[in-house]
Amino acid sequence: MLEEKNDNLSRHESETDGNIENNSVESTTTVTESIENNISKETTAFAAEENEIQPSENKIVENQNALDAISDTNAEESEDETLKERHDIPMQDYDTLSLEELVEELKNLVSNEKLVSAKDHIEEIKKSFLAKYNHLLEEKKEEFAAENQDPNEEFQYHSPLKSNFDKYYSIFRDAKNAHFKNLQTNLKTNLENRLAIVEELKELINPQANIKDTLKHFNDLRERWKNAGPIPKDKYNHVWNNFHFHVENFYDYLHLDREARDLDFKHNLEQKQKIVARVEELVNEADINKAFRELQDLHRIWKEDIGPVSREHRDEIWNKFSDLTKQMHDKREVLFENQRGTELENLAKKKDIIAQIEVLATEKVNAHSQWLAQIEKVEALRTAFFSSGKVPSDVNEETWSAFKTAVRNFNSFKNSFYKDIKKDQNDNLSKKTALVAKAKALQESTDFAATTPIMKQIQEEWKQIGHVPRKYSDKIWKEFKDACNHYFEKLKEQKSEENTEEVAAFDSKKAYLETLREFQLVGEHKADLDAIKLHIETWKNFGKVPFPRRHIEGKFNKILDALFEKLNLSKKDTEMMRFANRVDHLTESNDSRKLDNEKIFIMRKIEEVQNEIFQLENNIQFFTNTRNAKKENSIVLEVRKNIAIQKETLGVWKEKLKQLRNINIE
């Protein structure tokens, strides 16, 4: 069966009977002239081969766009044979992905996919990533300019995301460069080899040569042609058509027998009918892009692998194939139109988002918290912008530029506010720096009673001071926190030691309390009073006890109360001795607040007693002014007695207040 034949058979083929006879071969001059005449019409022959038998002019116009689309793609894939090995990877709308997601997608493609399959996707990822990253970089520069007034300080910004992106893209770029460098070298060599084969093919037409040797040489040339490799896509159609043209002329020259030729025509027709049947199925395929790619492969097989068919079937089979191709092309155009409609909807959404950002860039707010709310709104709009999908390519740059301008205007408006409060932040920095210096100066102090209130006051002042410039915030806070922590850790250690002493004091007082219960008065007032005072002094010297165990002080006071009663002291003396013991405990605590509270309590008691005395004296006047009161009755006497008691109590409270006022706590 004949191989690699073309529909553009010459007139000689249709006229000859197909029998090869030794003495019926045309003269060299006649054949050569025929070939030269055909070569002079090569351009027409190429077009005829591509379309087999030209349909009507209107048909050509209607179908040409579809055929050109297929032809261009096949020429490109023939240039780089690795493109035939690629598989379809869904093309995402990378504009909707975040920087983190784009880097992860790039990593997956570089690590797991073939170069030819992922090439277009990686370039789309690069375009989306750099657009977003450069926009982010511009914002960071504007923030830096707003916060830093020092002209000598250079802007620096490092992003781990950008480093990872550069790493994975470099891997892709190096592989791509190596691939195309090797491809360009091979394309040039392969083109030279194929052109040389065509030249050799021309020289085969030699009536003086042995027919067996000529056929063997012809088959060798065809095998070399198959293995010659890819050539530049702009040369593809011309070189293929030229080769097939000379193959057909060689067949004409050989006068191949008609029976063998008809068998070849029949086989080729069956193969092309199978292709037409498959295209009819593809027209109804739901995945239009997948179907169109298979259609491209079928066109390549039709042109490169299957030879011509008989003239009676050429128009019919080609026109059917061409019409189906146009139907597929039209469906693809409808798909593109639908995508265009979606892109227009996305454009409207993005324009609305830009308009909202432009409004926010004019709303004046005067507080940091309000600006945080505005910034949050812009971030939400930014996310919505990137998530709203692709827009028509002819307005993509314009839309992106409008978005960047709107965001930049908002940031400039925001930064102008923070420039205005820059002075306040610098003042705050000076105040906090002074507090840091004060805290550091006190952090080694061991005078905990005096230093602790100061350190607490410093911390309160720190809380009242506002923000400082962001680049100093972490550093100054760490210095302040370290100084405070250092001091309060020392205070904690000191209190831990004090707690040990307080537990020892409790144990001593508990043992002494048992001894005191056995104490007996001797009956001599002065000696007994001195003994009681000695017990009080001894008790005081034991020191403070832990706060949860202060109940032992109450037990001690009960024993004292019993001893005072046995001494038969006056009520005032007894009360003052008890109060002196209480004052000793207050002064031991070194807590001025407790002493102040005690003074306030006593002053209130003095006021209450004075009011009581005033009321009682008013009552006496009522009774003594009565006409019938010849002498004081029992009620009056009781009131006078009560007044005397209250005045004595008043004297005790005043004495207590006097003692407190004479106490000075360092």
Separation CA 47–CA 58 (nearest Å): 16
- pLDDT the model gives residue 400: 85
Burial of 268 (0-12, 13-18, 19+ CB in 10 A): buried
Q: How many residues does the chain have?
A: 666
| Closest to 106 in 3D by CA, of 97, 133, 131 | 97
Residue 498 reports pLDDT greater than 60: no
Lowest mean pLDDT: which of 40-44, 205-209, 531-535, 594-598? 40-44
What is the spatial distance between Cα 536 and Cα 575, in angstroms, rounded to a whole number? 15
What is the per-residue pLDDT across 137-178, written as a single tens digit (0 to 9) for each?
777 777 776 666 566 667 777 888 888 888 888 888 888 888
* Banded pLDDT at 251 (limits 50, 70, 90): low
| The predicted structure's pLDDT at residue 40 | 37
CA 277 vs. chain centroid, Å, equals: 51
Going by pLDDT thresholds of 50, 70 and 90, the confidence category of residue 585 is low
Q: What percent of the chain has pLDDT over 70?
A: 78
How much is the average pLDDT of 411-416? 82
Determine the Cα–Cα distance for residues 388 and 351; give it in Å rounded to an integer: 11
Token pair listed for 145: 């300019």
- In this prediction, residues 492-521 reach a mean pLDDT of 78
391, HSE (Cβ side, Cα atoms, 13 Å): 17
Q: What crossing angle do the helices spanning 288-304 and 258-283 adopt, rounded to 10°? A: 170
Would you say the C-alpha torsion 362, 363, 368, 371 has a positive or negative sign? negative
530-568: pLDDT as tens digits:
887 788 888 878 877 776 777 888 888 888 777 777 776
Rounded distance, CA 574 to CA 564, Å?
6
Banded model confidence at residue 666, pLDDT cuts 50, 70, 90: very low
Say if residues 257 and 19 touch (Cβ distance below 8 Å).
Answer: yes
CB 466 within 8 A of CB 502: no
203 near 217, Cβ under 8 Å? Answer: no
Mean pLDDT check: name the lowest of 200-209, 449-458, 585-594: 585-594
CA 404, 408, 412 angle in degrees (round to 5)? Answer: 175
pLDDT for 71 equals 65
> What is the average per-residue pLDDT within 194-219?
81
Alpha helix segments (H runs only) across 518-591: 525-541, 551-567, 571-588
Confidence at residue 278, expressed as pLDDT on a 0 to 100 scale? 92
Query: How far, in whole angstroms, is CA 534 from its chain's centroid?
Result: 77
Give the rounded distance of the alpha carbon of 463 from its chain centre: 32
Place of tokens 């399959």: 117
Identify whether the C-beta of residue 594 lies closer than 8 Å to the C-beta of residue 621: no
pLDDT grade, residue 112 (50/70/90)?
Answer: confident
Q: What is the pLDDT of residue 126?
A: 87
Please give the residue that has the higher pLDDT: either 138 or 379.
379
pLDDT tens, position by position, 47-97: 344 444 444 555 555 566 666 666 666 666 655 555 555 566 777 777 778
Output the pLDDT for position 77.
60
Instruction: Pull the structure tokens for residue 363.
Output: 């709303």
d(CA 172, CA 124): 13
Read off the pLDDT of each residue in 257-261 and give the average, rounded to a whole number: 61
Mean pLDDT of all residues in 312-331: 86
277 pLDDT exceeds 90?
A: yes
Where does the pLDDT of residue 219 fall: very low under 50, low under 70, confident under 90, or very high at 90 and above? Answer: confident
Distances (CA, A) of 102 to 108, 390, 578: 10, 16, 82
Report pTM. Answer: 0.41
- Per-residue buried b or exposed e for 340-368, using 16+ beta carbons within 10 Å of the residue's own CB: eeebeebbeebeebbebbeebbeeeeeee
Q: What mean pLDDT do residues 639-659 have?
A: 82
Quote the mean pLDDT of the chain. 76
* Tokens (6 digits) for 241: 């058509």
Phi, psi of 491 (to 5 degrees): -60, -40
Give Cβ neighbours of residue 409 (< 8 Å, ≥ 6 apart): 358, 361
Residue 85 DSSP code: G
Q: Which residues contact 575 (CB under 8 A, 6 or more apart)?
A: 652
Q: What integer pLDDT is reported at residue 366 of this predicted model? A: 80
Round to the nearest angstrom and report the end-to-end CA distance of the chain: 122
- How far CA 327 is from CA of 58, 113, 269, in Å, comes to 16, 33, 22
Residue 467 and residue 473 in contact, taking contact as beta carbons nearer than 8 Å? yes
pLDDT tops 70 at residue 200: yes
CA distances in angstroms from 627 to 522, 603, 624, listed in the order given: 57, 40, 8
pLDDT (mean) for 218-228:
82
Q: How confident is the model at residue 275 (pLDDT cuts 50, 70, 90)?
A: very high
What contacts 520, CB < 8 A, 6 or more positions away? none
- The pLDDT of residue 375 is above 90: no
